[in-house]
Chain A
Amino acid sequence: MSEKDPAVDMHGAVCPVPLQQKSTIVIGHGSGGKMMHDLISEVFIPAFGNPILAAGNDAGLAPAGSNSHYAISTDAHVVKPLFFPGGDIGKLAVCGTVNDVAMLGAIPKYLAAGFILEEGLDISILSQVVQSMRESAEEAGIQIVAGDTKVVEKGKADGLYITTAGFGEIIPYPHPIGGQHAQPGDRVILSGTLGDHGIAVLGARGDLGFESDVKSDIAPLNHLIHAILQVSDKVHVLRDPTRGGLATSLNEIAKQSQVGIILDEKTIPVKPAVQSACEMLGFDPLYIANEGKLIVICAAEDEEKVLATMRKTDDGQQAIAIGEIITDPPGRVLMKTLIGSHRVVDILAGELLPRIC
């Protein structure tokens, strides 16, 4: 240890000019967080802007004649590795889009799939992925009715990318369902544990130096949603907390509906293995991706009914109420911590980074 007196200029150098990632796409633009939202509002909305897109949901609600609507959505899948505990890119490609369509309270009907294949890919791998898509489509009760195939040079894709577009029929319901319809007093219900998918994929990459038995939670949620809508006519929002996790989804809803959300930390379910991985890596399970979890926001009087229905299903056995919608502060998510204080739960900023120590 130095025993010298510090001859330090304590008011010396400070920080550099701001960095604006405005000219180049960086990885954080795909994180599902604030950077991606900025990109959407600065590049896509001005070009495509229309009232359906402006609603800001995962699926667009398009009129189909005088009294009915279609839900339309698309999702691109670039997961690495292609196969991981609990699923693969094929299952993800089907469930991701089915779920986006179902979140508007629609019954998903048909999917179209586009395949971008890298030169050198084993056809047996492609067959395995396609077989998995078939099984997931059967599970979801939908058909894949159109497709496209492109091949790119070696090194231009991680084996294979899949985009899917989905189409669903809006079922009769007393009011529209969507992120903009949360109301003060509503309850926030979560269908199960957080972070399983993100940690399963990270673990499967094999570069974290740990093994776990965590499986991805990928599942089509349309049957669960259908069951909920059968018993309650007071569901206002349905959302699957995928990239950016629960925290980012709830922030989106708070902003869309201009309400506040207060969560109770002790109710939020996280598997011990996921919690351990997060503690080690410096991640917060609130920000980790899920692919088979559902947020339901409904009127308080229907909370028990919705919970009971969810708990009877495979994908909703661990359903639990985690918070409620409040008036103030609008656009913000707060959390009552385990030890009784309150803090803000913000949207994910950019890429989720493991911390140094």
Chain B
Amino acid sequence: MKYIDEFRDPELAKATLDEISRITTRHWVMMEICGGQTHSIKRFGLDQLLTKDIELVHGPGCPVCVTPLEQIDKALAIASRPEVIFTSYGDMLRVPGSGRDLFAVRAQGGDVRVVYSPLDALKIAHDHPEKEVVFFAIGFETTAPANAMAVAQAKLMSLQNFSVLVSHVRVPPAMHAILGSSANRVQGFLAAGHVCAVMGYWEYPPVAEKYKVPIVVTGFEPLDLLQGILKTVQMLEAGRFGAENAYTRVVTFEGNKPAQAILKKVFKECDRKWRGIGTIPMSGWCLSDEYAQYDAESRFDVSAITPEESPICIAGEILQGLKKPPDCPAFRVLCTPQNPLGATMVSSEGACAAYYRYDNPNVSQGD
């Protein structure tokens, strides 16, 4: 398939792997930010082929995984109301809240619908004026512009029966949180290519500067990932830091200006809780004052829902790159994709799900 196969070329992959081995003189720890990158690494077994001196740790960039428990519980409460049609991306339906998930709400009679775009939710609202239609707006900078667009459209259309349950998160504050932690081991970042397609990478030079790390914008296909790793190793070996781009076919420094403009108009930065990590200051987006009327939390008065997580799984440490899925005693034993203890096992982008699906439990992975 054009534009895919070229970036899965075995010969070029081997040449890049050899070059990484050749220039690596010591052990380096780097984090891929995005869950999509984690899955590519495991799906193509890149970690098996890389020199053992390169240690990849998996970052918090799985939108489903980091959506906090309280937002899930709020979603469950709203979706259970008889007047509500609750719309969501598919993979949120299986994320466990305190007692159940959205699939269970649907099985118990709630009107929960999978949509492929927030604009589909708008259409449902338009077609069902007698219902309250709520869209679960989660995700990073990648999904936020389309969700912002849906809210802006709702206002233009004067749709009164549409609202959004917002749980958007931003990458740069999470990088600050990881690099600023006393337990941090990360020496370089593979920045998330899709996030940067929207935001550019103008936000990253100050982060690189402050913590003296290389940050390399990286794509998702095997060759993209290897190119990102190679560039990061080159910078680490040369003692260089800064933000560079190994995904130039998609990402520019400035990013997508119209997308950034709609984000700025509809959302404002706010503190946000990350599942498994905690509250990171100014790491989220909330509706701006101009669009506050579309906030499902205030419309359905669910702000009092503040559940506590019970300390069973280690998703938090995994999302920060401190531990890996096999370090968890519950991994593969109590915790499986059909019975997930934590969000990192639920989402197709979660690190635990990636290890579960692609690693052979009978073979040591050498990490």
- Measuring CB to CB, which residues of chain A are less than 8 angstroms from any residue of chain B? 1-21, 24-28, 33-35, 38, 207-209, 272, 275-276, 279, 281-282, 328-329, 332, 334, 337-344, 346, 349-351, 353-357
Contacts and interface: CB of A to CB of B under 8 A. Distances in A.
A28 to B, nearest CB: 7
B142 A3 contact: no
Given A16-B97, A338-B8, A10 B44 contact: no
A156 to B, nearest CB: 14
Interface string B10-21: 100110000000
A217 B91 CA distance: 27
Interface in B102-121: 103-104, 106-108, 114-117, 120
Interface in B79-114: 89-94, 96-101, 103-104, 106-108, 114
Contacts of B278: 8-10, 12-13
B275 A2 contact: no
B237 interface: no
Interface string B284-320: 0000000000000000000000011111111111001
B156 interface: no
B173 A6 contact: yes
A337 B45 contact: yes
Nearest to A20: B339
Contacts of B43: 337, 343
B90 A353 contact: yes
Contact of A349 (B203, B315, B338): B338
Given A1-B203, A6-B281, A353-B348, A15 B46 contact: no
A355 B349 contact: yes
Given A207-B120, A344-B358, A356-B91, A2 B283 contact: yes
Interface of B: 1-2, 4, 8, 10, 13-14, 36, 42-46, 48-49, 63-64, 68-69, 89-94, 96-101, 103-104, 106-108, 114-117, 120, 138-140, 142-143, 170, 172-173, 176-177, 180-183, 194, 203, 206-207, 222, 269, 273, 275-283, 307-317, 320, 322, 334-343, 347-349, 356-363
B176 A354 contact: no
B45 A34 contact: no
A344 B116 CA distance: 29
A15 B173 CA distance: 22
Q: Which of B45, B68, B139, B349 has the most CB of A within 10 A?
A: B45
Contacts of B337: 34, 349-350
A17 B44 contact: no
Contacts of B341: 15-18
Given A2-B281, A18-B340, A24-B107, A339 B10 contact: yes
Contacts of A349: 336-338
A356 B310 contact: no
